[in-house]
């Protein structure tokens, strides 16, 4: 809930309370006067908001606050340093404070102070070096989820590498495999239920050398779903601090769904359908359409939305308790805004 919505809600609760007290006070002061008279003075006082109005005001405050400002933005593109033709990405893991919604601070274990960690973009066949610096007080390691790499860079402590201890650095060096382009991820694979739950994850996008027509999009958006210690989030933020997806009428919007949580999230888009054309980066032989796409932990789906219709289109997890409470929308809610 945004500061504004909290403030609005407090104001309404306060106003309601004050009105009730005032009414009570009037009644209390009217001991000497006939009860009918006391009652008749009440309409003159500001009437208490009804429960329905109070609820509506809280809902309205959330919507009006959207998109609410918070400190920190995750999932930002990380530009590589290029040396001898190798794209070099440095990731530093450390504890930070993270604001998921206005005023909601949580402890995060983050790459480069971002939740999700920065987006990594490479192209099929690229030479890639990822250097991990561990500033946590636990060991860690990175698994490149979806990339078909040699076993030695698979990122599993005691199986393919030693753990990267506190204070240490570790280098992963590989070629982005041919034919294995698409929407992939990177995340911790050591004490992962805790480390990934606290934010040690990010998108790893491999672009094809020869994109097929369905890959063309005017807007390309990566949406990482999570549900761990930070609550129900899209790219590390909860409504109303989530980011809207924006496009113009007639544009093609590509959404890359990634689930880094522990639960399924059936994502529902209002007003326009999605054409699902890739699963875990692999092009589907027979793309299919839907308005509700069930994304399970570890899965990625790529969809195209033909933005044919102007408006602010709600876009949310359809497990309703992940998206709305009696206090209004929260968590896994954002909007596709077509202008």
Question: Which of 41, 139, 246, 251 touches its own copies by CB under 8 A?
Answer: 139
Please check whether residue 135 is in contact with residue 92, taking contact to mean a CB–CB distance below 8 angstroms.
yes
- Which range of residues in 5-13, 26-34, 122-130, 135-143 is near its own copies by CB under 8 A? 135-143
Please check whether residue 146 is in contact with residue 299, taking contact to mean a CB–CB distance below 8 angstroms.
no
Cα–Cα distance for residue pair 333/53, rounded to 1 Å? 22
Shortest Å distance, C-beta 235 to its own copies: 19
Size of the site for its own copies (CB under 8 A): 81
Identify the bridge partners of residue 120 per DSSP, sorted by sequence position: 204
Using the minimum distance from each CB to its own copies, give the nearer residue, 76 or 94: 94
What are the CB-based long-range contacts (under 8 Å, 24+) for 217-221?
A: 217/252, 217/253, 217/254, 217/304, 218/247, 218/248, 218/251, 218/252, 218/253, 219/245, 219/246, 219/247, 219/251, 219/252, 219/253, 219/254, 220/254, 220/256, 221/245, 221/253, 221/254, 221/255, 221/256
The yes or no reply on residue 212 touching its own copies (CB under 8 A) is no
Shortest Å distance, C-beta 25 to its own copies: 26
In the range 293-312, which residues lie near its own copies by CB under 8 A?
Answer: 294, 296-300, 309-312
SS3 call for 228: coil
Cα–Cα distance for residue pair 71/102, rounded to 1 Å? 8
Encoded one letter per residue, x for contact with its own copies by CB under 8 A and - for no contact, window 91-120 reads ------------------------------
Using the minimum distance from each CB to its own copies, give the nearer residue, 237 or 300: 300
In the range 238-277, which residues lie near its own copies by CB under 8 A?
Answer: 262-264, 266, 268, 270-273
The yes or no reply on residue 51 touching its own copies (CB under 8 A) is yes
Please check whether residue 207 is in contact with residue 122, taking contact to mean a CB–CB distance below 8 angstroms.
yes
Using the minimum distance from each CB to its own copies, give the nearer residue, 139 or 246: 139
Question: Which sign does the torsion angle of CA 131, 137, 140, 142 carry?
Answer: negative
Using the minimum distance from each CB to its own copies, give the nearer residue, 80 or 266: 266
Question: Which of 31, 158, 210, 213 touches its own copies by CB under 8 A?
Answer: 158
- Which range of residues in 16-24, 105-113, 118-126, 152-160 is near its own copies by CB under 8 A? 152-160
Cα–Cα distance for residue pair 149/189, rounded to 1 Å? 15
Using the minimum distance from each CB to its own copies, give the nearer residue, 116 or 281: 281
The yes or no reply on residue 59 touching its own copies (CB under 8 A) is yes
Using the minimum distance from each CB to its own copies, give the nearer residue, 89 or 313: 313
């Amino acid at each position: 809930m945004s500061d504004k919505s909290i403030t609005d809600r407090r104001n309404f609760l306060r106003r309601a309370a004050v009105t009730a007290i005032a009414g009570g006070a009037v009644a209390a002061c009217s001991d000497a006067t006939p009860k009918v008279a006391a009652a008749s003075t009440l309409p003159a006082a500001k009437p208490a908001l009804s429960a329905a109005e109070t609820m509506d005001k809280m809902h309205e405050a959330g919507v009006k606050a959207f998109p609410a400002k918070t400190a920190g933005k995750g999932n930002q593109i990380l530009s590589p340093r290029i040396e001898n033709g190798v794209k070099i990405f440095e990731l530093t893991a450390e504890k930070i404070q993270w604001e998921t919604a206005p005023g909601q601070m949580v402890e995060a274990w983050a790459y480069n102070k971002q939740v999700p960690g920065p987006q990594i973009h490479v192209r099929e066949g690229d030479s890639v070096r990822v250097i991990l610096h561990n500033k946590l007080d636990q060991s860690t390691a990175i698994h490149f989820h979806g990339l078909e790499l040699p076993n030695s860079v698979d990122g599993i402590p005691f199986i393919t590498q030693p753990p990267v201890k506190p204070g240490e650095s570790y280098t992963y060096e590989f070629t982005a495999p041919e034919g294995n382009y698409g929407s992939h991820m990177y995340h911790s694979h050591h004490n992962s239920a805790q480390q990934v739950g606290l934010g040690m994850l990010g998108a790893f996008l491999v672009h094809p050398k020869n994109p097929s027509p369905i890959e063309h999009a005017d807007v390309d958006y990566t949406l990482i779903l999570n549900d761990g210690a930070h609550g129900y989030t899209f790219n590390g933020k909860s409504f109303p601090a989530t980011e809207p997806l924006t496009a113009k009428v007639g544009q093609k919007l590509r959404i890359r769904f990634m689930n880094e949580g522990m639960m399924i999230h059936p994502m529902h888009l209002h007003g326009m359908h999605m054409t699902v054309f890739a699963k875990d980066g692999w092009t589907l032989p027979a793309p299919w359409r839907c308005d509700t796409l069930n994304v399970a932990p570890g899965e990625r789906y790529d969809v195209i939305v033909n933005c044919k219709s102007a408006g602010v289109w709600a876009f949310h997890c359809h497990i309703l308790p992940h998206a709305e409470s009696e206090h209004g929308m929260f968590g896994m809610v954002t909007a596709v805004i077509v202008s």
